[in-house]
Structure 1
Amino acid sequence: MVLNGIKAVFFDLDNTLIDTSGASRKAIAEVLKLLVDKSQFSEEEAQLICNNFQTKLLFENYDSSIMTMDDLRVSYFETSMGEIRSGDYKELAEQCYNLWKTCRLQMLTIAESTKNMLSELRKSATLVLLTNGQRQVQREKIEACGISPYFDAVVVGGEHAEEKPAPSIFLHCCDLVQVKPQDCVMVGDSLDTDILGGLNAGLKATIWLNKNPHGNRNPNPAPHYVIDCVTRLPDVLRNLQ
């Protein structure tokens, strides 16, 4: 594959190479069943508990000196249950979290078409997996889906001083695989982290994975290219100016 001077391709992980959102929805569905079938919560109450849990994940502030990530997330379920009805929910919260975590990790798989695309692309360019997130959480996802062998380097934002969109982590990736920013492209689903970060770091191009092309016709920041499926990437790279 001729890549017009591109020496490295940086890939986001969540919702770019693996369907993290879909896996999370399916895992939450299993938790809902557990809450309704094995507890005194109604379907409406169970949905509120799960909604609260997911909201707490969005605004997560983790300090490893206080507790483990697993204990913190168990507390999200426990607190969410207590907000619905008073009681001792420690054991049930642990069951819900363990079920959610196990199901989600099991459902994080890489499509065969994506594997083939990465294998073929790696013959012509260095591939770097660049993902934001807390170290334990992201490393568990990476191990669960078995994606590491398709990459020359794996960089987890939570292991560094700054995450995407900070230029520093993109420049760290460049140094890691000994390439210049102007010889790299960034591929990801997030405008705020992947695309903005690639632009901030001065990469050759940013490629936005937008699975809902009718939902955002004027993205900001504006990526250089837009694709609706990650396996369409090689076509863009071949014609990249």
Structure 2
Amino acid sequence: MKIKGITDVFFDLDHTLWDFDKNSALTFDKIFKTHQISINIVDFLKVYEPINLRYWKLYRDDQIDKESLRYRRLKESFDAVQTSVSDEVINKLAEDYIVSLPTFNHLFEGTLDLLEYLKPNYRLHIITNGFQEAQDKKMQQSKISEYFTTVTNSELAGVKKPNPIIFDFALNSATTVKTKSLMIGDNMEADVLGALNYGMDAICFNYHGSKIDEHIKQVTNLLELKSYL
């Protein structure tokens, strides 16, 4: 069923339009080869991905800072696969990861098709908890920047999703209101419940197939959004 009265559509970036897991895996493969770290990338990613999500939650909740996030997610992952890497190398890997990540530009299937479909009828925006320097590069390199009127990141807003202040900041930047706005993202806590609790409509991009409340709108493929918009 089409959602009526929407003028502004807000997207999360990582794990929603930009295929973070695929691009991250390619980045690790590259930087491990550069630093001659002999490690099975599949085994590493199996432990890294849940560790990374846990540290991002700590970062969202303001329990750790950016530098701690970047170091500790790697340190804990290397420890988990019993690979000894010095702090000096971990810090260099953390830097190289941020530099290299935006050079890989895989988008989720249907991203460009969807943006082309929406652009004539809506103003499109990004709300991301990612770091500004990385997010700007990701959007430019993957050639999606041109579709978006505003980009709000947590460093600009001073808080992270699901804090209502970041939604307020984004809507003010877009000169729009809650009743005319829709949030689309993969993370139930940060994107979907964050938006719903703020008072704007939301759709979960449930590509990971999580069990979610039946009352929450969801799609498993981006092109399914055409049934709502």
Question: TM-score under structure 2 normalisation?
Answer: 0.75
Distance 2:97 2:50 in 1: 11
Deviating more after overlay: 147-156 vs 71-80 = 71-80
Q: Which residue of 2 aligns with 1:147?
A: 144
Q: Aligned partner of 2:197: which letter?
A: N
Q: Aligned partner of 2:205: which letter?
A: L
Gapped regions of structure 2 (runs ≥ 5): none
- Displacement of 1:15 in angstroms is 0.8
Distance 1:49 1:7 in 2: 39
- Displacement of 1:99 in angstroms is 5.3
1:116 aligns with 2:113: yes
After TM superposition, the structure 1 = structure 2 runs for residues 18-97 of structure 1, keeping only pairs within 5 Å, are: 18-33=18-33, 38=36, 43=39, 51=47, 55=51, 58=56, 59=58, 61-62=64-65, 73=70, 84-85=83-84, 90=88, 92-93=89-90, 96-97=93-94
- Taking a change above 3 Å as real, the CA distance of residues 50 and 5 of structure 1, as seen in their structure-2 partners, is closer
User: Which digits, 9 at most, give the CA deviation of each residue in 1:101-134, with x for residues without a partner?
Assistant: 4553222333683223212312111111111123
User: Which digits, 9 at most, give the CA deviation of each residue in 1:18-48, with x for residues without a partner?
Assistant: 110221123234445566xx35x6x47x956
- Taking a change above 3 Å as real, the CA distance of residues 31 and 201 of structure 1, as seen in their structure-2 partners, is same
After TM superposition, the structure 1 = structure 2 runs for residues 211-226 of structure 1, keeping only pairs within 5 Å, are: 211-213=207-209, 215-216=210-211, 219-220=212-213, 222-223=215-216, 225-226=217-218
Distance 1:201 1:76 in 2: 30
Q: Aligned partner of 1:120: which letter?
A: Y
- Taking a change above 3 Å as real, the CA distance of residues 54 and 139 of structure 1, as seen in their structure-2 partners, is farther
**Sequence identity percentage:** 22
- Displacement of 1:175 in angstroms is 2.0
User: Which digits, 9 at most, give the CA deviation of each residue in 1:66-93, with x for residues without a partner?
Assistant: xxx5x9846875797798548x663x44
Distance 2:87 2:44 in 1: 15
Distance 1:233 1:202 in 2: 20
What SS class does the counterpart of residue 163 from structure 1 fall into?
coil
Distance 1:189 1:53 in 2: 15
Gapped regions of structure 1 (runs ≥ 5): 64-68
User: Which digits, 9 at most, give the CA deviation of each residue in 1:121-168, with x for residues without a partner?
Assistant: 121111111111233333333333232211111111222122211222
Question: TM-score under structure 1 normalisation?
Answer: 0.71
CA contact (8 A) 1:34 1:96 kept: no
Greater C-alpha Rg = 1
Distance 2:45 2:199 in 1: 43
Deviating more after overlay: 143-152 vs 109-118 = 109-118
CA contact (8 A) 2:51 2:77 kept: no
- Taking a change above 3 Å as real, the CA distance of residues 79 and 207 of structure 1, as seen in their structure-2 partners, is closer
- Displacement of 1:226 in angstroms is 0.8
- Taking a change above 3 Å as real, the CA distance of residues 114 and 34 of structure 1, as seen in their structure-2 partners, is same
Length, aligned pairs only: 219
